Chains A and B, each alone.
Chain A
């Protein structure tokens, strides 16, 4: 479904050039859930920006649903691929009601039947219809993220790009949103590409995952091997240990690696 080879992104020129991605490659099968884990600056969000068409200056090969992609995407592409962003406090227009937020993609793609589509989209994400004419400030963080998911799903895409979808939320709300995403994936056979710094979230959501650092994929793992044993690459092992909690002795070893 997603096939990426030799993807590179460089920001700036000459001595000030920053190599955000240095020739990465991965494949995601249809209906699969794939994770990218890494710390800030590892390039994981840049991958999503390239795939979604938000970033134009990249080189390499990106094939989505059998079609090689060029930097500029068609309208049909955006019906196929949708994205959910990290911060539901920033990704919803503060002066648009939920109704207007959800009606916009329907209008752009001239799908028609707005009323029914909005009602279905809201119900699918577990919001009742009383939310339809509310503004984002009248919603909690979890409800906003549900609206953001509804906005992505209203176009009935086949691929969902998820950029840290729960890192701005409390853990109890995170559990609700992750359950919702898992259910929607099962029901619609969606393909997920999930980006997160939280190894536990990625291991829970994804079948396979890649660990990124400084624009390179350092290791590809399956969630099953991650459960069975520690990763082999020293950097992924570091992330793995850090995710289990604070350990004074581990910090000293960590400094030896870095």
Chain B
């Protein structure tokens, strides 16, 4: 039964700080949002804190980073207070994360099939034969034409697109309630990118999964997601429906949109974003 009313994940006043020799770096500064069974996009430039937000939810911020929040609630579980043991049950099984580059997130000395089967067997304790069958089914579900071959292949024997599909298969085999995808397609060619997105899109629609889609690509997020958060300097500066992104109000969002070259609108000079110091100081609540 899909329940659309109660949010899957609630994040309130999230802060991520890094104590470095150069002083305290405040990477995420009071971010709050909810995710239901929908596709939520988080857009921002490098250093805006979008990836750290994704990692903080799974408590994967590396030291010396510290995460504080008023509340991080995942369908009734307090993720801030949960023990490491509980977190291991949640990671992968209930919340999965797909990283940017399959080259660095797959184990290079283990076949694809073994890695996927291992992910399946990790807490389910299913017999090996069943795990193998499920892994092959999953590879077919992410539209890999020859699952048997890919099952026995090592990561370096696959193209980037294939590797990323294998990663997605591994994340989805546990049937998570929430998928956090951090730039899942930016290392891929546009046509492959579209195919991978279609797979995620179908899974969200069919399984009622929630998706947090972290990206720097405004056009992609506008066309793919349901709702978008725009981050700048560790804060959410604007929240809007993805379809309305092109009518965004905040000068930062407008500036980003205008700095994109467009095929249908030739220009001798592209608009250059002028940053305003007040954007990062601005404590005004983002409009819902």
Contacts and interface: CB of A to CB of B under 8 A. Distances in A.
Interface of A: 39-40, 141, 170-172, 174-176, 178-179, 182, 197, 199-201, 203-205, 223, 226-227, 238-240, 242-248, 250-252, 254-255, 258
Contact of B216 (A170, A175, A238, A244): A170
Given A39-B190, A178-B270, A255 B195 contact: yes
Given A175-B270, A182-B268, A200-B260, A170 B191 contact: no
Given A170-B46, A182-B269, A243 B263 contact: yes
A69 to B, nearest CB: 31
B244 interface: no
A42 to B, nearest CB: 9
Nearest to A173: B45
Given A182-B268, A246-B220, A204 B261 contact: yes
Give the dominant DSSP class at A's interface. Answer: helix
Contacts of B193: 242
Contacts of B195: 251, 254-255
A200 B46 contact: no
B260 A171 contact: yes
Given A239-B190, A243-B190, 4 more contacts: A172-B256, A246-B220, A252-B198, A255-B195
Contacts of A170: 45-46, 216
A214 to B, nearest CB: 13
B191 A172 contact: no
Nearest to A172: B273
A176 B261 CA distance: 11
Contacts of A205: 261
A152 to B, nearest CB: 21
Interface in B249-283: 255-256, 259-264, 266-273
Interface string B220-235: 1011100000000000
Given A170-B45, A199-B263, A244 B255 contact: no
A161 to B, nearest CB: 20
A-B pairs, top 8 by smallest CB distance, nearest first, are A245-B223, A204-B261, A175-B259, A39-B189, A172-B273, A242-B190, A175-B270, A246-B224
Contact of B160 (A40, A245, A248, A254): A40
B197 A171 contact: no
B218 interface: yes
A204 B270 contact: yes
Nearest to B267: A204
Contact of A226 (B218, B219, B259, B263): B263
B137 interface: no
A223 B269 contact: no
Please indicate which of the listed interface residues A40, A141, A243, A258 has the most CB atoms of chain B within 10 Å of its own CB: A40
B103 to A, nearest CB: 13
Given A171-B45, A172-B255, A227 B190 contact: no
26 contacts: A39-B189, A39-B191, A171-B216, A171-B256, A172-B255, A172-B256, A172-B259, A175-B259, A175-B261, A175-B271, A175-B273, A178-B261, A182-B268, A204-B267, A204-B270, A205-B261, A227-B263, A227-B266, A239-B191, A244-B223, A244-B263, A245-B222, A246-B201, A251-B194, A251-B197, A254-B195
B68 to A, nearest CB: 28
A40 B188 CA distance: 9
A171 B220 contact: no
Contacts of B45: 170-172
A218 B102 CA distance: 30
A226 B264 CA distance: 8
Contacts of B219: 244-245
B160 A171 contact: no
A179 B269 contact: yes
Contacts of A254: 191, 194-195
Contacts of A175: 259-261, 270-273
Contacts of A178: 261, 270
Given A171-B218, A238-B191, A176 B260 contact: no
B164 to A, nearest CB: 13
A223 B268 CA distance: 13
Contacts of B255: 172
A197 B187 CA distance: 12
B223 A179 contact: no
A106 to B, nearest CB: 30
B220 A258 contact: no
